[in-house]
Amino acid sequence: MNTGLAIANPNNQAAFISFFFTDSSGQNFRQGSTTIPANGQIAKFLDQDPFSSGSPVNGTFTFNSSVPVSAVTLRGLTNERSDFLITTLPIADPNATVQESIIFPHFADGAGWTTQIVLVNPTEQALSGAVQFIGQGSAGSPAQPVNVTIDGRSDSQFEYSIAPRSSRRLATSGSGSTIRAGSVRVIPASGSGTPVGVAIFAFRSGGITVSEAGVPASRSGSAFRVYGEALGGLDTGAGALETGVAITNTVPAQATVNFEWTDLAGLPTGMAGTAPIPANGQLAMFLTQIPGLDQLRATLATGARVQGILKISATTSVAVIGLRERYNERRDFLVTTTPPASQIASNADLFFPHLADGGGYTTQFVLFGGTSQTSSGALSFFTQAGQPLALNIK
């Protein structure tokens, strides 16, 4: 296992990056610095130059930049048959701390699934609180805490204490033949700040870890849009893919969720429906399982690819994450997460800190409007040295 970092400098001047590591006890080590050229980028594993963390390392990495930059963390895992799996992790802003509960809209445990909750303390004070696992609930019945096993202890709630600038990891055992699913809440202790976190759920098949996906802590709201696609249906085997969504009701009252499927131009297709979510409960469905979207099955049966935007609105505050799931050429079940777009307009530039093309790698860019307004602009590519990069886009 290794952690990588990609930092893009979108400025017309060089970015001076200073950094240091912190171990699990809160002690800093391996301070250093590097420079990223104007419009340039750096992408390295943390045990590589210029970071040179050494190995093994279990802690956090802190960096500061002389100019605003865009960054993403890449978690690489070499599995039991030497496949290289990658998932993305969030980066915490030390200056944007909050004191409120955070929610991971989805976790899975059992029947080959495990979930890790990784909490990072970006502050200079120790943080404490509790991590609570909550089930999906059922019609007319509020969701209840659900037991998982972590470090040999079976419970629905686990306390944490994190040293300044350090981290804490809680990993479920995945025991049992039944899948336990739902949401996770991180509840800070009174007077304590809130850590930044990610839920990493993994799937093992035949003793092989075939997929890992990072679920960031989600902001709650009442309206979201998720890019969706499907091909073949997940029951048709290799090459099939389908988008799913996990929606968590963040309040102790039943919610009604409204769904509407539009085409890529944002035009209504006539497909719409509703579904209830119990108080504090969770709903996880594929596109073809969503009430009112039944016609998608007929489209997939013709061999056509389905692409569009799923509009989600709720009568209460909810947290949403998109799940893109597919079978690869040897029928491994792969999952990655796709962030929803909040229906709040913004005219700010956006940056993808990392792309890879060639040597077995491809990159897909999915652009869609989060609001009812028309969006237009340009997608520009740059080399690590900051020069324009020509790519073959199909």
The answer to whether 244 and 322 have CB atoms below 8 angstroms apart is yes
Q: Is 103 helix (H, G, I), strand (E, B) or coil?
A: strand
According to the model, what pLDDT value does residue 117 have?
96
Average pLDDT over residues 376-388: 92
- The predicted-structure confidence for 28-67, as pLDDT tens digits, reads as follows 999 999 999 999 999 999 999 999 999 898 889 999 999 9
According to the model, what pLDDT value does residue 345 have?
53
* Range of lowest pLDDT (149-153, 287-291, 335-339): 335-339
- Least Cα distance to 219 among 108, 72, 98 occurs for 98
Confidence of residue 15 (pLDDT cuts 50, 70, 90): very high
Confidence of residue 238 (pLDDT cuts 50, 70, 90): confident
Average pLDDT over residues 122-133: 94
3-state helix vs strand vs coil in the chain, percent to 5: 5, 55, 45
The answer to whether 8 and 14 have CB atoms below 8 angstroms apart is no
Domains of the chain in start order, with CATH, are 1-78 (2.60.290.11), 95-217 (2.60.120), 221-342 (2.60.290.11)
Average pLDDT over residues 307-319: 94
Average pLDDT over residues 151-160: 97
CA distance 14 to 42: 12
According to the model, what pLDDT value does residue 234 have?
74
Average pLDDT over residues 6-29: 95
- Least Cα distance to 372 among 348, 338, 344 occurs for 344
CA distance 163 to 166: 5
In single-letter form, the type of residue at position 89 comes to L
According to the model, what pLDDT value does residue 91 have?
85
* Range of lowest pLDDT (84-98, 116-130, 147-161, 287-301): 84-98
Average pLDDT over residues 231-257: 90
The secondary structure of 287-344 as a DSSP string is GGGSTT-THHHHHHHTTPEEEEEEEEEEEEEEEEEEEEEEE-TT--EEEEEEPPEES-
- The predicted-structure confidence for 174-233, as pLDDT tens digits, reads as follows 998 999 999 999 999 998 989 998 999 999 999 999 999 998 888 889 999 999 999 987
% of the chain at pLDDT higher than 90:
74
Angle at CA 161, nearest 5°, toward 188 and 169? 100
Q: Is 289 left (phi over 0), alpha (psi -120 to 50) or beta?
A: alpha
pTM given for the model:
0.92
The continuous run of DSSP H or E covering 368 comes out as none
CA distance 63 to 45: 14
Average pLDDT over residues 116-131: 93
The answer, yes or no, to whether residue 102 has pLDDT greater than 70, is: yes
Torsional sign, CA 379, 384, 387, 390: negative
Q: For residue 276, is the peptide bond before it cis, meaning its omega torsion is within 30 degrees of 0?
A: no
- Least Cα distance to 22 among 117, 92, 121, 93 occurs for 121
| Residues 6+ away with beta carbon under 8 Å from 125 | 164, 193
Average pLDDT over residues 358-377: 82
Average pLDDT, the chain: 92
The answer to whether 137 and 277 have CB atoms below 8 angstroms apart is yes
Length, in residues, of the chain: 394
According to the model, what pLDDT value does residue 139 have?
76
Q: In the structure encoding, which two tokens stand for residue 36, read together?
A: 């990223």
Confidence of residue 370 (pLDDT cuts 50, 70, 90): low
CA distance 365 to 351: 11
According to the model, what pLDDT value does residue 344 have?
59
Confidence of residue 100 (pLDDT cuts 50, 70, 90): confident
Confidence of residue 343 (pLDDT cuts 50, 70, 90): low
The answer, yes or no, to whether residue 341 has pLDDT greater than 90, is: no
Average pLDDT over residues 129-145: 92
- In the chain the first and final C-alpha atoms are separated, in Å, by 33
According to the model, what pLDDT value does residue 346 have?
63
Torsional sign, CA 187, 89, 18, 23: positive
Tell how many helices (H) and how many strands (E) occur in the chain: 1, 25
Q: In the structure encoding, which two tokens stand for residue 72, read together?
A: 């993403």
| Residues 6+ away with beta carbon under 8 Å from 256 | 274, 275, 276, 277, 314, 315
User: DSSP label at 124?
Assistant: S
Tokens 């307009």, residue?
A: 345
- Least Cα distance to 277 among 183, 186, 142 occurs for 142
Average pLDDT over residues 343-366: 85
The answer to whether 255 and 233 have CB atoms below 8 angstroms apart is no
CA distances from 73 to 4, 44, 101, 158, 296 (A): 6, 10, 23, 26, 35
According to the model, what pLDDT value does residue 310 have?
96
In single-letter form, the type of residue at position 124 comes to E
In single-letter form, the type of residue at position 147 comes to N
